[in-house]
Amino acid sequence: MKSATPATPGKPRLTTSAMIASIASEGQRTKPAPFGHALVELARNRPEVVGLTADLGKYTDLHIFAKQFPDRYYQMGMAEQLLFGAASGLAAEGFMPFATTYAVFASRRAYDFIHQTIAEEDRNVKIACALPGLTSGYGPSHQAAEDLALFRAIPNMTVIDPCDAHEIEQIVPAIAAHKGPVYMRLLRGQVPLVLDEYNYRFELGRASLIRGGQDVLIISSGIMTMRALETAKVLADDKVDAAVLHVPTIKPLDHQAILDEASKPGRLVVVAENHTVIGGLGEAVAALLLRSGIYPAFRQIALPDEFLAAGALPTLHDRYGISTAEIARQIKGWLR
């Protein structure tokens, strides 16, 4: 297999396999296919649960559900608009569809079908989409850097960005208990385990302070909470005390938790997200603070407003400032 990037002395060569959606660090604990296994557990006692995909069952971990419940699994082919139209119809008949594809296909190719047939009708469809943000190295065709902005804009839509396998396992039954459409970013395959070390419990619509700190508050979602916790440990070596507020539910936003933490004096507030700087968690938090009359020193770590490059994920995360090393470097620079 050819190297995707030149080798650096002292560092392992990165191969094209580093372009796929694996965000686990070397040696990090992982759990296989948490979404697929959690959906199977949910479906055992919920006969109305069905699974649909557009030719991506293996790549969204829905193949695990298909193996256990073949009569409740629908392979719609490469037809994302049909996928979501059918999901809406099934929901109208009393089923609870979990529809999976890549985030780029849901947020761009089938947006109007989701907007009109699912959200406007307030149908009980759960949309779980892999390759969110910069979790693929295959360029703009596969990088859903703007998905949160698009889905936040849809009325009736709940929007969730999970951090790890532990959280995904809890999100599946939680969104099943919620009546109405949900968009969930999906981490698939070998998914890191992080939040179980902090006795974390997911609650729909709630943010959670994972770690306290006096010098900087990092407000984060998704894989950036994992990176924020890693960054906090790096900063501690330089006597910088960093708090981490995990915000898995992007919509509805937990206003009170954010305001309570951001209003504490003397801390730099940094929003870190695996999403473009436009329309995601950073701008949602900034608008909330401004409307509430709270004006901390504020910075944003996010992907730039541009079409991103193709390449090995570790290289791209460094390039666009969302790796642990780059997050720590930026924060230390702002605190000088």
Catalytic residue of the set 26, 41, 48, 80: 80
CB atoms < 10 A from the CB of 6, how many? Answer: 7
Distance of CA 322 to the CA centre of its chain: 14
Which two three-digit tokens encode residue 75? 């392979």
Tokens 């009708």 sit at which residue? 121
The tokens for 226 are 């994992």
Closest CA to 205 of 229, 173, 171, 228: 171
Check if the beta carbon of residue 229 is closer than 8 Å to that of residue 208: no
What are all long-range contacts of 113-116, with beta carbons under 8 Å and residues at least 24 apart?
A: 113/80, 113/81, 113/84, 113/85, 113/88, 114/84, 114/154, 114/181, 115/154
3-state helix, strand, coil in the chain (%, to 5): 40, 20, 40
- DSSP one-letter code for 142: T
What residues are paired with 30 via a beta bridge?
Answer: 192
Enter the tokens of residue 292: 């509430």
The C-alpha angle 201, 205, 207, rounded to 5 degrees, equals: 60
| Residue 80 is a catalytic residue | yes
Pairing of strands 73-75, 96-102: unpaired
Rounded to whole angstroms, the Cα distance separating 277 from 273 reads: 8
Residue 113: both structure tokens together = 């079908």
Residues annotated as part of the active site: 80
